[in-house]
Structure 1
């Protein structure tokens, strides 16, 4: 078989390092030496359709002696070549055969050699006609190769079973063809000579445009598109389909297509940028028509949660520069969607809390007592509200991608907490039979709200958290006062005898202890932590009342013996009171220490020792005033006014040097006239 010279030039392998190509110099710098025989591309093993044998002119009897009619390379033993020395037939593939075999780089190399021959040297006048004809033929073949290269690139993302076997090999060959065309463009530009009409060919730009069209087509017609799933709108189905197509295609690029590209083309990031821009453009188009709440929140979730999760997949994260892509939608598009979503969430939170409070109020108005759990009154108000707040803020953070924005959902909580306080005040004011159980249940709600506000700060903005904590502190204070008021009224007859001669000489305090123990039984019903705090509050108030009565000065300790007796009485009372309240759950162990130090002042006779004891009290309790010290010292009638002033001066100096436990005042509750 013979081939035209223009199609059958000698080929090496299609690699950049091939010396016959890499040593190419532009026609202005080199001359072209025409070979007299038409060499071609030889393959030793080909499929049957390409199993051509090239017959040389010297095959058979070529005018030499008959003994030399066989191939000169064969051994002349029995007239046949020996098996070890027999060569396979040399096969040459034409340009069109290489195209049919999808060996596009090798086909392109043939065209480059034809171009080199045609434009290597100036043409004589009689050869110009033939030159123009060959150039037109070459341009036509180049167009065919270009179209097939772009077609191959456009099928880059088809699975192998759809694209046909060897699709990746064909793609790799097509990309090498693009690379060698770009190299030839650069060489022509550097040569300064007059290039062919098709130079620069710009195949890299054509390749990039083909990828862009490919991505846009796949995002416009995603494979996963179909009927919406139950509960999803058609818009949500479309966005999901595009997102799924993007993910699958990028994974295919990383797993398969990447290996066909030279590293310098950075194909993974190229595809990522194209998909990012295309997906962004499609989503922007969707937002222009206004969205329902559910569709808007779904779109935000794709932008801030689902899409970043796709890019952070281990296979993709190592190949794609995610930070360089930026956000899927710009801020001016996202802000209206975020405002719409957050406003809707705020409204839902307000509605829900209002409904929870209304149900609690209706239950109390009907005379119903709160439910009991483990013998304690409980209310669902705090549990339901806390669960909703936690879920809404956590979800909003994922949807809008910003915790500070998500926290704005809880802004209505300030007003809603005020509604809770108004409801509690109404319960106390009306003082129905079920009001005390309701208040015990409310103490549990207040504590649960407080814990969440202090330990889950990320759910709230600072001003909301501080405002709500203040409201809760006031509510707890008023609830304690309401529950303890009847207790103090029951103990009032016993209070009156404290600090009197009867208290000093008769078992008055034992009756007070018995009364306290009885009243404490009626305080039960709150959850354990709240009950302990309530009992501790009673412990502190009883101790303050004890000192208030003592400092009224109804009893006078005139000498050392009476002062010692006063010391023993106060000390014994402190221990008995402490034992009772600790047994009932109080944690206020400091109160025993206060009474013990007061008793020490009564016992001491030496003025410097009294000064040291008062200084110790002032250091530990900054709310201890000069009035308190003066009333205490007046019980010791053997102290002069000057002595009392000396002791009070020590207190003034001590308070200026030490802050003490200012957060837990005690003496401010001890009333001294």
Structure 2
């Protein structure tokens, strides 16, 4: 479709009078064919992986990949192609996908906890790290399970990702309660276990363990969100567009903070990162932007010019001189590598 429509734009369109709308005709014919095939597939019996693939095409691959093509983008803006699937069918597929993904993650966490309980019961001394009994395997597995699921959902669409996040926000507390109940049961029934004390020491009691898990999740969420902002995918020219994005980021930041805090995270140092970035997007006065950048650099001194430059790509109405001025201001503020918890230093910018 892309190749043929490119030929239409470059060679065929000019052979016809403008009122013929040649490009529109070709685009609509292709779109209608794809839509009929998508509908046919959606109405058939699909495995979970096929549902995921079809939703990816409907929400992400088809509309975005076509509009990435610089030759076609302008022409496609003039053509209202609509969706590949009717809303009712798309909603049904999304529900099936979300139900399946939620069940898969829930089952995965349950199996993970069963393995952890089995590990407690083994007649084997727990491993030591730096001379201390501890284990991060459970926390790591939980984080990977939840956030690999969330990433898959967000790759379909932001709305599907948010819905899965909402569902999983209920699963995590349930998992932590199951962990706590299982550990209390082990403590009560296994006092004669040869390695009872090391296991009790290793497992930082239920509350600290829960806190450690949610704080790692909290950090990962904030970092992943920042990474998405630094990918140079959005370039907004007007203050109104930037204002809308800033409001969207602020709302997401508030939801993220509320979720993590309500589940026990005390990593309050993370909470101002996204709101500060949102404020930089919102502000239009150069002096005010510099002040906000300075505040950001003071709070997160591991931010570097490469991070800020990638982020400021969003503000397409900045002149080269203004951009250079802002970046130079940051470079003076962060001359050395700071101590403390890193946020930006672990984020690579391509």
TM-score range, shorter chain: 0.5 to 0.7
2:180 to 414, 418, 421: 421
In 1, distance between residues paired with 2:10 and 2:205?
A: 61
**CA-CA distance at 1:315 after TM superposition:** 1.7
Q: Could you tell me which of 235, 251, 264 is aligned with 2:6?
A: 251
Deviation at 1:321, TM superposition (A): 1.6
Gaps of 5+ in 1: 1-245, 475-673
51, 75, 86: which one pairs with 1:319? 75
Distance 1:401 1:464, change over 3 A: closer
1:454/1:322 Cα in 2 relative to 1: closer, same or farther (>3 Å)?
Answer: farther
Match of 2:283 in 1: none
How far 1:356 sits from its partner (Å)?
Answer: 1.0
Q: Relative to structure 1, is the Cα distance of residues 465 and 360 closer, same or farther in structure 2, using a 3 angstrom cutoff?
A: farther
Q: CA 1:423 to 1:336, structure 2 compared with 1: closer, same or farther past 3 Å?
A: same
Q: State which of 85, 89, 99 in structure 2 corresponds to 1:333.
A: 89
Alignment of 1:652-667 (within 5 A): none
2:36 corresponds to: 281
Q: Which has the higher contact order (CA 8 A, sep 6+)?
A: 2
- Report matched runs for 1:331-370 at 5 Å: 331-370=87-126
Stretch deviating more after TM superposition (291-300 or 407-416) = 407-416
CA pair 280-341 structure 1, distance change in 2 beyond 3 A = same
Alignment of 1:47-58 (within 5 A): none
For residue 202 of structure 2, what is the aligned residue in structure 1? Answer: 438
Q: Is the 8 A contact 1:450 1:469 kept in 2?
A: no
Question: Aligned-pair distance for 1:423?
Answer: 2.5
Structure 1 residues 389 and 473, CA, compared in 2 at 3 Å: closer, same or farther? closer
Which whole-Å CA distance do the structure 1 matches of 2:123 and 2:264 have between them? 25
Distance change (3 Å), C-alpha of 1:462 and 1:317? same
Q: Which residue of 2 aligns with 1:392?
A: 149
Contact 1:303 1:329 in 2 (8 A): yes
Bigger helix share: 2
Change (3 A) 1:369 1:453: farther
Give the Cα separation in 1 of the matches to 2:175 and 2:217.
16
The TM-score normalised by the length of structure 2 is 0.56
Distance 1:346 1:289, change over 3 A: same
CA distance in 2, matches of 1:424, 1:461: 33
CA distance in 2, matches of 1:412, 1:287: 29
Whether the 8 Å contact between 1:258 and 1:267 is mirrored in structure 2 is yes
* 1:428–1:435 CA contact under 8 A, matched in 2: no
Equivalent positions of 1:60-71 (< 5 A) are: none
Write the deviation string for residues 291-337 of structure 1: whole angstroms up to 9, x where unpaired.
Answer: 22222221111111210233212221122127722222121010111
Displacement of 1:468 in angstroms is 7.1
Whole-angstrom distance in 2 between the partners of 1:323 and 1:372:
63
The 1:466/1:375 distance shift into structure 2, 3 A limit, reads farther
Give the whole-Å Cα distance in 2 for the aligned partners of 1:421 and 1:473.
Answer: 17
Task: State the match for 1:407 in structure 2.
Answer: 165
- For the 8 Å contact 2:176–2:210, the answer to whether it is kept is no
Three-state SS of the structure 2 residue aligned to 1:318 is helix
CA contact (8 A) 1:311 1:322 kept: no
- The equivalences for 1:289-328 within 5 A come to 289-312=44-67, 313-321=69-77, 324-328=80-84
Per-residue CA shift, 1:4-59, capped at 9, x if unaligned? Answer: xxxxxxxxxxxxxxxxxxxxxxxxxxxxxxxxxxxxxxxxxxxxxxxxxxxxxxxx
* SS of residue in 2 equivalent to 1:440: coil
Alpha-carbon contact 1:427-1:435 (below 8 Å) kept: no
Q: Cα gap change, 1:424/1:464 in structure 2, threshold over 3 Å: closer, same or farther?
A: farther
1:227-246 alpha-carbon deviations (Å, 9 max, x no partner):
xxxxxxxxxxxxxxxxxxx2
In 1, the alpha carbon distance for the partners of 2:253 and 2:181 equals 23
Which residue number in structure 1 is paired with residue 25 of structure 2?
Answer: 270
TM-score (norm 1): 0.31
- In the TM superposition, residue 269 of structure 1 has moved relative to its aligned partner by 2.6
Q: How does 1:522-561 map to 2 (within 5 A)?
A: none
Backbone CA RMSD of aligned residues: 3.3
Deviations along 1:479-499, one digit per CA (max 9) or x if unpaired, are xxxxxxxxxxxxxxxxxxxxx
Report how many aligned residue pairs link the two structures: 229
